[in-house]
Amino acid sequence: MSRIKFEGVGKHYPNGYVALDNLNLDIADKEFLVLLGPSGCGKSTTLNMIAGLEDVTEGKLFFDNDLMNTVPAHKRDVAMVFQSYALYPHKTVYENIAFGLRMRKHPAAEIDQRVRDAARRLEIEGMLERRPDQLSGGQRQRVALGRAMVRQPLAFLMDEPLSNLDAVLRISMRAEIKRMHQAMQTTFVYVTHDHAEALTLADRIVVMNGGVAQQIGAPDAIYERPSNMFVASFLGNPSINFLEGSITLDGDSVLFKRGQLEIRLPPHIAQKVAGNAGRAVVLGIRPEDIDAHAESRRRETLQGRILSVLPVGSDQFLNVEVEGVKLFFRVDKEDQHKDGENVSFAINLNRLHLFDKQSGQSLVW
């Protein structure tokens, strides 16, 4: 069992800086939890608190029912993998992986079996006698993972373990880590600033900004029902499009209005903002949530002018100017578009987002 629970946990520095503010989070046994956010938002601080490498200055941290606030790092049965690998340069791969087990005085035969088992799973069996400087970055990272794996800890803590790897290797290592989670049947807490990595790996994501958890939820929920503009814009590439405007009433209809653009809001949004005529809002449309073949249907549309066509292999992005704002849309690669052309897109109303301009909070979810 390894449930990790934060109750009102904070990290307040003596100079008054709040690196983590009032975190309430209950990480289930065997869950894969990802802490996601920009640089400086408090991800490593949170992870290091679990490891015991950083003091909890406010609130309570529990492992199962045990209060951990003052338990020293070496008495916490967790394994940590760092971005920098932190391998011993003069030891072989074998000894690097075996190190934690030797420190804990496991029998030699058992150590040998665990090291070889981990090496086989990570496909570094042939490299056990090499030193770290004789390995590539990806191989070193696998040694670091192997060192954590052999420990069979209560929880794995990983701080941007893949950020030093090239794009191709990063994707194959993601699959490796996912397999490792399935095989180990243990709680994983994983830090990254890469939204794609978070969406791929996580059972749940905590999106953080400025020391504050902005939203906690499954990848789909975070992507499809972001609770504020920060969360909406942090996930997705290209990022969600934002259009500032206001709410206007027209008979029974509730409209989003910006200049010449009028969008009749669907019932589930209209009912939430019908009493807010004149309110300043921000409409959010993800690049993929449009239909380029709009003409024949009676649906809410966006008219704009194509500034540039950007093919990306599998499909293409269009940079389109709508009411003075530059937006990105994703369309089929077969669609024929030219720079300067006027276009009309139907909007997928079920997937529309609307935020309060002042607070940035979602008015929909």
* Interaction site with ligand ATP (CB under 6 A): 13, 15, 17, 19, 37, 39-45, 193
Distance CA(18)–CA(144), nearest Å, equals 31
Q: Are strands 58-63 and 66-67 parallel, antiparallel or unpaired?
A: antiparallel
Alpha-carbon distances, residue 235 vs 152, 221, 352 (angstroms):
33, 11, 15
Query: Min. distance of Cβ 47 from ligand ATP in angstroms?
Result: 8
Query: Min. distance of Cβ 221 from ligand ATP in angstroms?
Result: 22
User: Based on CB atoms, which residue is closest to ligand ATP, 83 or 276?
Assistant: 83
**Angle at the Cα of 62 from the Cα atoms of 60 and 64, rounded to 5 degrees:** 155
Distance CA(225)–CA(320), nearest Å, equals 25
Query: Min. distance of Cβ 137 from ligand ATP in angstroms?
Result: 18
Q: Report what 13 binds from ligand ATP, Mg ion, none; CB cut-off 5-8 Å by kind.
A: ligand ATP
Burial 266-295 (b: 16+ CB within 10 A, else e): beebbebbeeeeebebbbbbbbebbebebe
Distance CA(354)–CA(332), nearest Å, equals 26
Task: With beta carbons less than 8 A apart as the criterion, state whether 324 and 237 touch.
Answer: no
Query: Min. distance of Cβ 44 from ligand ATP in angstroms?
Result: 3
Distance CA(283)–CA(232), nearest Å, equals 11
User: Based on CB atoms, which residue is closest to Mg ion, 161 or 304?
Assistant: 161
User: Based on CB atoms, which residue is closest to Mg ion, 44 or 186?
Assistant: 44
User: Based on CB atoms, which residue is closest to ligand ATP, 31 or 160?
Assistant: 160
Query: Min. distance of Cβ 144 from ligand ATP in angstroms?
Result: 17
User: Based on CB atoms, which residue is closest to Mg ion, 111 or 205?
Assistant: 205
Binds Mg ion by CB under 5 A, chosen from 2, 44, 46, 215? 44
Contacts (CB under 5 A) with Mg ion, residues 172-231: none
Q: Near Mg ion by CB under 5 A, which window of 44-52, 89-97, 109-117, 215-223?
A: 44-52
Residues that bind Mg ion (CB under 5 A): 44
